[in-house]
Structure 1
Amino acid sequence: MSQQKPKNNVMLIISIMFGYALTYMDKNMIAAAIIPMEAELGLSASQSGLLMSMFFIGYTVMQFPSGWLSDKIGPKKVLLISIGTILVATLFFGLVSALILLMVIRLIAGLGHAGVPISSAKVVANTIQPKQKMFVQSLILSTSGIGGILAFTLGSTLINMNWRYAYFGLALLFAVSILMIFFFFPKEKKDPNAEQKKKEDKISISVVFKDKNVFILFAALLFLNIVLYGYLSWLPSLYEADFGFDLKGISMILGINAILMSVGALSSSFIVDKVFKGKDKRFALTGIILCGLACITFAIADSLVVSIIMMFIFTLTSNAVYVTLFSWPHKLIRREVIGSSIAIINMGSTIGGFLSPTITGYLISAFGGNYNVAFIAMGISAFVCGFVILLVRTKPVKTGEYKFN
């Protein structure tokens, strides 16, 4: 994709942000929808955890194919196919009742979700100026909070009526996202350097697999996402079980929490540049340590006020660290193979997302419905993530565009 004018970039980024926000609305909404689903379908905590985890099997399977396709056929086609797949899966999720069918549909939804962050990152790599890439990437990732707000406001309102209505409404929003991509996404023109790129493609896979940072970031995001998806999956159930909150009260707290997800994401690039003076690793380590401490304090606190404060702290820090880690490939990896590289890195996120609800659901069941032990496990996972971050090799990409500390 050739570089676009700034005005065109604005509409392109808005289109991506809308689709990205909807994927996070889907990821967040299942945590609220699972409460009436359990009551209607008679699901146990382990079954609910397995249902939520099926999404991440599909997400993981399609990571590398989506990255490879983004490099080969272009991010627009991958984005359209991905969101179209999610639309169909979301619609059918609201139509069926059998647990096995719900699991299959969530798996298919995961297949579609896999292409969205990868194709979005490919767009950033192709169209945005080097100095603006981390900010634009953080801007796109900040829509995770917007998705959360939609999930716990619009989504929860529909769930209170009937959880199936929420998924019908979400399918309609995905249809709008597809239209926005058609109207606002620039056409992918034939690249005059296609022959040269073909030569680069012959070595692209080997370049990706020889880069140790790809696999270090893979591991870091795996352990970080055990925290991110663990608390997204079980916070509503914990507040219902431990503090007697109804869905309306839970939605209010989680709506505020979703705003902080965006704040954490948006503030990361500013804090790295202005406070930590470009020392990305030091910022990431500080954030993940605070996140781990907040998770454990959250688990052992009996006070509702303390638990809410700790929830807000680990939301801010975990999302800031996530954006920092996800932005590093733009500084450490060659643009020509950014799609394939991010596919492998993001696979760590999806494996962590798959393991988290399953492991935490098992721990909750094994300890007699005690959610606190699951959040202690998340805190430990955050500390492991910090250790992995220490291993990142901070060096500029071969083009010499970046200086990385």
Structure 2
Amino acid sequence: MKSSVHESNQKDDGGFSGDSSGKASDVARLTVFLLFLAWVIDYIDRLVITLALPAIGHQFHLDKAEQGLILTVFFIAYAASQVPGGVLADKIGAKRTMIVALGTWSVFTGLTGLAFNYVSLLAIRAIFGVSEGMFPAASMKALSERIRPQQRLTATGVVFCSNSLGAALAPLIAGPALAAVGWKNSFLLVAILGIVMAAALWKFLPRTLLSADASEPVRHAASLDLRSVLTSRALWLIAATFCGYDIVLWGLISWTPSYLMEVRHINVRNSGILTSIPFFVGTIGTIIGGYLFDRFFHNKMRRLIAPAMAVSGVFLVVMIKATTVGQFILWESCAIGVSSLCFMPIYGVPLRLLPQDFAGAGMGLVNFGGQFAGALTPFIMGAIADAFSFPAAFSFLLFGVALAIVASLASPQTKKDFDAAFRREAPYPALAQ
């Protein structure tokens, strides 16, 4: 008898496909392609505002802390909706959840360009954050339902290369758009991409793939409940690792464009080009990190994460002390490239080990850690820049380096450790047996 979750997914996606090897491969390829495009658009939509911040600040007479709050309010809403988005995907299906998220965030991307004052802009970005926050866990659940376990980490690595690629493409798109049509019209233009992508997911996302090896649970899903997933110390440690990693990432994404324009006096078009360079390097780092984790570090992620983050911290220190734009971008590229090696290892452990029935909620919890970093970092760095300087603000990134190292060292490393942690932490005696 199928579980209620599988029944809802069958209704969601129109039934299960066959499980032949050829069909499974076709499903995997199309799923990865569509989710990759959706994530690229996700990043473009959310990052256009980083290049628009100086113009927005000028129009609404905002200091850097107030500009940072525009980013922070998005991330607060985005972080808060990670777990609810995962639960919603588990309940009504990943496909429905993704389409609702994409359509809604695209509307509010466009509405950003229609904001008439600072308060309306904050409100729009908060709702934008809620709608984007429903997408990540749902997309990971959609992936786990359509990709066999032995292919899942590789597929996830390909999909999540979109994060760095989207971060690289966003300034290349936003810079010329801002220069040509202004910040308001730029948001209206990029909103169209999301509407088109939502329609593509609805039309072309394959049906779920059900097979005997569809998941590799820590225990049978029936022996887990949502509370045991959401209160797991093991998952919270992985979330804290992701938080540290994302303090570095979102700090650089949020404030590098403003630094280049306001301190180095680079125009918006050229700032977009320079801002994109480190994230093309990060795309390569994400691919390499996924390969290294899959081949050598899948049972010892700390041996990859801790050294990579430490080396990234050294590059950040040199970046902060850079005296020219070229040096700054060079060392930023090195820092992002090396830290990006950690992205797939952070995601890899829970993605491999959580049961499919709780993949949405579990990955939502891990992603919450990263987005909590996004909620704190732009505002804190903006306040530091107002009070001191941009170099002082960039020094805050070293706290993220330290957090990622400490949390990764404390996290479970193997399936045995992960399973033991769940059994110790189970809120009900039956789960610990």
Question: Structure 2 length as normaliser, TM-score?
Answer: 0.85
**Alpha carbons 2:300, 2:414 under 8 Å: kept:** no
**Alpha carbons 1:204, 1:336 under 8 Å: kept:** no
Unaligned runs of 5+ in 1: 193-198, 401-405
Which residue type is aligned with residue 125 of structure 2?
R
Percent of pairs with identical residues = 21
Shift of 1:307: 1.7
**Alpha carbons 1:334, 1:397 under 8 Å: kept:** no
1:365-384 pair list within 5 angstroms: 365-367=386-388, 370-384=389-403
Alignment partner for residue 108 of structure 1, among 112, 119, 127? 127
- Deviation readout 1:74-104 (Å, 9 max, x if unpaired): 1101101111110111111111221111111
Pair 1:222-2:247 in alignment = no
- The aligned counterpart of 1:31 is 50
Distance across 1 between alignment mates of 2:201 and 2:416: 31
Shift of 1:46: 1.0
**Alpha carbons 2:103, 2:198 under 8 Å: kept:** yes
Range that drifts further, 349-358 or 33-42 = 33-42
- Deviation readout 1:112-165 (Å, 9 max, x if unpaired): 111221111112222222222221111111111332233122222111121122
- Deviation readout 1:305-357 (Å, 9 max, x if unpaired): 33222100111122221232122212232332111111111111111100000
Alignment partner for residue 150 of structure 1, among 169, 191, 194? 169
Shift of 1:372: 0.6
Alignment partner for residue 104 of structure 2, among 74, 82, 85? 85
- The aligned counterpart of 1:350 is 371
Which residue type is aligned with residue 194 of structure 2?
F
- Deviation readout 1:241-288 (Å, 9 max, x if unpaired): 332211122111122223122112122122334565864321111211
- The aligned counterpart of 1:117 is 136
1:208-247 pair list within 5 angstroms: 208-209=229-230, 211-247=232-268
1:185-334 pair list within 5 angstroms: 185-187=205-207, 200=221, 203-209=224-230, 211-274=232-295, 279-334=300-355
Alignment partner for residue 191 of structure 2, among 163, 167, 171? 171
Q: Secondary structure at the match of 2:48?
A: helix
- Please report the RMSD computed on the Cα atoms of aligned residues, expressed in angstroms: 2.5
- Deviation readout 1:339-398 (Å, 9 max, x if unpaired): 11111111111111000001111111111xx11111111023212210110001122179
Which residue type is aligned with residue 179 of structure 1?
A
**Alpha carbons 1:142, 1:266 under 8 Å: kept:** yes
Shift of 1:185: 0.9
Distance across 2 between alignment mates of 1:208 and 1:163: 42
Distance across 2 between alignment mates of 1:244 and 1:375: 18
Unaligned runs of 5+ in 2: 1-8, 10-15, 213-219, 420-433
Question: Structure 1 length as normaliser, TM-score?
Answer: 0.90
- What is the number of equivalent residue pairs in this alignment? 393
Distance across 2 between alignment mates of 1:18 and 1:337: 25
**Alpha carbons 1:230, 1:356 under 8 Å: kept:** yes
Q: Secondary structure at the match of 1:142?
A: helix
Range that drifts further, 267-276 or 132-141 = 267-276
**Alpha carbons 1:333, 1:397 under 8 Å: kept:** no
Pair 1:130-2:149 in alignment = yes
Distance across 1 between alignment mates of 2:162 and 2:416: 28
Alignment partner for residue 64 of structure 2, among 45, 70, 73? 45
Shift of 1:201: 6.3
Range that drifts further, 210-219 or 77-86 = 210-219
Distance across 1 between alignment mates of 2:170 and 2:209: 36
Q: Secondary structure at the match of 1:243?
A: coil
